[in-house]
Each structure stands twice: as C-alpha cells, then as structure tokens.
C-alpha cells in the first residue's frame, strides 16, 4: 500500500527500494503483534557532504515535512476507504 500511495502522490521516479539495513532492528518485534505493518523511509538527499542523522553537524531538510505529511495523509485516506 505504501508504494502505491507514494507512487500516486510523487510519481514512480521518486519511489524506490533501499538496501536492507539494521537501523530499526526492533521493528521485527512490532511485526509480531501487527504482522501487516510496513517500514519505509523518506530520503533526505544523497549529497556527498551531507552528514548522517546522528551526527552533530546534521541539518534536517525542512522541506521533507511536507512530503512526509502528504504521504501520511494519503496512507490514512487509503486505509479508511
């Protein structure tokens, strides 16, 4: 559902897969209780000089707030149908 909603909102060229990573190792425990869950990310850019999230020099891309809010609104609307 996340892929479908994100593609409808932002276009297929803006939606993709990321390589598996251990950034949320406890998410598996959440899926035991709610097996239809989904883990997704919203990219913040891949400029070579961009700091990682847990770095004191990280500068959050405020424009992503609109993207994230639009995605959550779209997911909520889809879920409630």
- Are 52 and 58 contacting, i.e. CB atoms less than 8 angstroms apart? yes
Q: Structural domain boundaries of the chain?
A: 1-12+50-81
Full pLDDT tens readout for the chain, 81 residues:
999 999 999 999 999 988 877 776 788 888 899 888 888 888 877 777 888 888 898 888 898 999 999 999 999 999 999
With H, G, I as helix, E, B as strand and everything else as coil, classify residue 75.
Answer: helix
Which spans in the chain are helix H?
Answer: 2-10, 27-33, 64-80
What pLDDT shows up at residue 69? 98
d(CA 40, CA 10): 15
With H, G, I as helix, E, B as strand and everything else as coil, classify residue 17.
Answer: coil
pTM of the model: 0.79
């Amino acid at each position: 559902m996340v892929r479908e909603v994100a593609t409808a909102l932002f276009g297929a060229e803006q939606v993709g897969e990321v390589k598996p990573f251990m950034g949320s190792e406890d998410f598996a425990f959440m899926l035991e209780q709610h097996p239809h869950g989904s883990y997704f990310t919203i990219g913040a850019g891949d400029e070579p000089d961009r700091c990682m999230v847990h770095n004191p020099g990280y500068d959050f891309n405020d424009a992503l707030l609109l993207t994230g809010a639009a995605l959550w609104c779209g997911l909520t609307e889809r879920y409630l149908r």
